[in-house]
Amino acid sequence: MGWRRCGRCGMAEAGAVSDPAARAVDVISTAPAFTSADVARLTAHYAGVPTEAMLADLLRGELHGRVALVSSFGTESAVLLDLVAAVDRAIPLIFINTQKMFGETLAYRDSLAEHLGFTDLRVFRPDPHQLAARDAKGLRWGYDPDGCCGLRKVEPLARALAPFDAWISGRKGFQSGRAGLPRFELDAGRLKINPLADWDKARIDAHFTARDLPRHPLEAAGYPSIGCQPCTSQAQPGEDPRAGRWRHWDKTECGIHQPAF
């Protein structure tokens, strides 16, 4: 028995109402969005499929509205950005500003995103309370780079990716420590896609030329790989392109990605 309003006098009166117990129960799924079985399925399905076709199929189909593109706007980032922009310029485009970036990178980010027509650039920064508590002087990179990356890169990215089931990364298999990089990976229940996993340096350069893409301004100054300013130095002739990253440290990844193998 419940209460309803009388249609003639407006007074509340007793009457039958729907039984709350009979209502459909909302169920919030806490299951991971993707599993290792999905990774195997996608890997098999897109084996041999050209990168452009794979991206078009995924972004217009299974991943539509569920995926973000993450970019550091480094020396080779323009290629993946261009490939994705050809399919969906409205895709959420995430950039983590560690607040230790080169000014040139920030300017390149804005000009390149504008050049390619992206409409949903999302910039995330470290939590200011965490910064105050753990890196008040901004020097943590000098004695604890893993902790600094955790604070300035890993945590903001986790926050940025929270609404998404999948994300797209620009890593390549030819980069040092990334041999054998797969196209699809599982990352804490989220799908991580590496569309350029099988691209080599010559193909990257050819795409720059074919599409007349703008280069990062620091590349010509001797920086083939660019991260945060304190942790990036120029690579010398003959050195690995990533040799200038965390030079003198036993560190090759920021913690966002684990070494491929």
> Binding residue for ligand SF4 (CB under 6 A) from 231, 235, 242, 244?
231
156 binds ligand SF4 (CB under 6 A): no
Helix (H, G, I), strand (E, B) or coil at 153: helix
149 binds ligand SF4 (CB under 6 A): yes
Report how many residues bind ligand SF4 under the rule CB under 6 A.
Answer: 13
Interactions with ligand SF4, residue window 99-118 (CB under 6 A): 100
> Binding residue for ligand SF4 (CB under 6 A) from 74, 145, 170, 244?
145
254 binds ligand SF4 (CB under 6 A): yes
6 annotated active-site: no
Tokens describing residue 136 = 């008040």
Residues 6+ apart with CB under 8 A from 33: 66, 165, 166, 189, 190, 191
Q: What is the rounded distance in angstroms from the CA atom of residue 222 to the CA atom of residue 198?
A: 25
User: Of the listed 148, 149, 231, 254, which one is catalytic?
Assistant: 254
Buried b (16+ CB within 10 A) or exposed e, 229-238: bbbbeebeee
226 binds ligand SF4 (CB under 6 A): no
Element (H, E) at 2: strand 2-5
Tokens describing residue 163 = 């609404």
Q: What is the rounded distance in angstroms from the CA atom of residue 33 to the CA atom of residue 42?
A: 14
153 binds ligand SF4 (CB under 6 A): yes
> Binding residue for ligand SF4 (CB under 6 A) from 199, 227, 244, 256?
227
**Toward ligand SF4, which CB reaches closer, 145 or 170?**
145
Please give the single-letter amino acid code of residue 147: G
Q: Which residues are catalytic?
A: 254
Residues that bind ligand SF4 (CB under 6 A): 98, 100, 141, 145, 148-149, 152-153, 227-228, 230-231, 254
